Structure 1
Amino acid sequence: MQRHRPGGHAAAVRIRTAGFALLAAHLLLVAWIMLRPLDVPWVSAANLHPLAGIRADLALGWREGAARIGGGLVLLAPLGFLLPLAGGRVHVSVWGSLVRTVAAGALISLGIELLQTGVPGQVVDIDSVLLNTVGVAVAHLVVVPVLRARLRRGTEGAPLLVEEPAQGRTPTITRVGIAP
């Protein structure tokens, strides 16, 4: 249960709703980019050796390699802050949130790679999973602590959301003296 300042409940609902909407829009964009068929004259073999594709990208040259590696890092990076935003919890463990978000990002990336096996012109690349996961972790570490601190502080200095334990408030019992 969450206690909210006046108008805080509406703000919390708006934040979660915006998080879900942005998350859905981003995942649809990623699905459109990664799962559309490509017309290519030939398709390279699947890369199942970790870091082999990154080494090959770096061998192409600085600019080309940085563009390919950067694209892999940026593709799912918004999940690093959209997943916690959609969750809407402000007072959580930093490490627990990071682990949950990175695990979800890795599973989404792996799911996309597995779906690519049935799409013409798309090739499975284990380095994409690695780069996408690192991108999610970096985005989470950069954005989420600042965003949560800002939500805790609110706009006027009062907390926007104050979470209580899942069981609710502890009841208080008035003390009764010893009977005569």
Structure 2
Amino acid sequence: MQRQGSIGGSAAIRVRATGGVLLVAHLALVAWLTLRPLDVPWVMPANLRPLAGVRADLALGWPAAAGPLGEGLGLLAPLGVLLPVVHGRLAASPLSSLIRTAAAGALLSLGIALLQSGVPGRVVDVDSPLLNTAGVVLAHLAVVPAGRARLRRRLRRGPRPARGAVTPTVQEEPVQGRTPTIPRVGIAP
């Protein structure tokens, strides 16, 4: 049984399965990038003031700030697209989809920040969850509403034949079909 408003057919199952595989692969990459120990001679103190690191990066000038800010925004940004793909609903409310995706991104980012506090060489930075969540929201807003609208239009039109393909002529059957005949059984002697 399908959920109301979900994509139908085997193509939808393949898209959702591919999205799930990509989501797991991305989360494994994020875990490897953020949770492996670093061998460093010293570490910076923890940043517990919101947006202090962002201000410090911006004070260095735009070309120097683009790297750290881009890393913070881009680390979890694919979740903004992959989570709705795995969920697979075309008729979801845009606002509720955005809130669900942003909440999942924020919780995952907070979990990573908490786990990093126990990893040697890693320092807690309160700006990381803020930037990661902003990246998830921006990716979601940039891709998901337009993608869903395009898929809904495509489903309303129906599948297009391949280029150069000859569409076969289909004989239409009556709406009810043929009436079945039931053989009569005679009375036994």
Shared fold, TM over 0.5: yes
- Percent identity over the alignment? 63
Partner Cα distance (2:27, 2:75) in 1? 10
Deviates more, 1:53-62 or 1:97-106: 53-62
Partner Cα distance (1:41, 1:118) in 2: 17
Aligned match of 2:18:
18
2:39 matched residue in structure 1: 39
What residue number does 2:163 align with? none
Q: Which amino acid aligns with 1:79?
A: L
SS in 1 for 2:157: coil
Relative distance call for 1:156 and 1:121 in structure 2 (3 A) is same
1:86 matched to 2:86? The reply is: yes
Query: Given residue 62 of structure 1, which amino acid in structure 2 is its aligned partner?
Result: W
**Aligned residue identity for 1:39:** D
TM-score normalised per structure 1:
0.82
SS state of the match for residue 154, structure 1?
Answer: helix
- Residues 72-115 of structure 1: per-residue CA shift (max 9 Å, x gap): 00111100010000001110100000000000000000000000
Write the distance in 2 (CA, Å) between the matches of 1:71 and 1:155: 37
CA–CA distance in structure 1, aligned partners of residues 9 and 53 of structure 2: 47
Runs of 4+ residues over 4 Å off in structure 1: none
Q: What is the match of residue 54 of structure 1?
A: 54
Deviation of residue 61 (structure 1)? 2.5
Higher-Rg member (1/2)? 2
- 1:92 alignment partner, SS class: coil
CA distance in 2, matches of 1:54, 1:2: 42
Using the alignment, how far apart are the partners of 2:130 and 2:148 within structure 1? 26
Give the CA RMSD over aligned residues: 1.8
* C-alpha displacement of 1:123: 0.8
The code of the aligned residue for 2:52 comes to A
Structure 1 distance, partners of 2:122, 2:154, is 45
TM-score normalised by L of structure 2:
0.78
Distance 1:125 1:65 in 2: 16
Partner of 1:136 in structure 2?
136
- Once the two structures are TM-superposed, the CA of residue 47 in structure 1 deviates from its matched residue by 0.7
| 1:107 counterpart letter in structure 2 | L
Q: Give the Cα separation in 1 of the matches to 2:66 and 2:156.
A: 42
**More relative contact order, 1 or 2 (CA 8 Å, 6+ apart):** 1
d(CA) in 2 for partners of 1:97, 1:83: 9
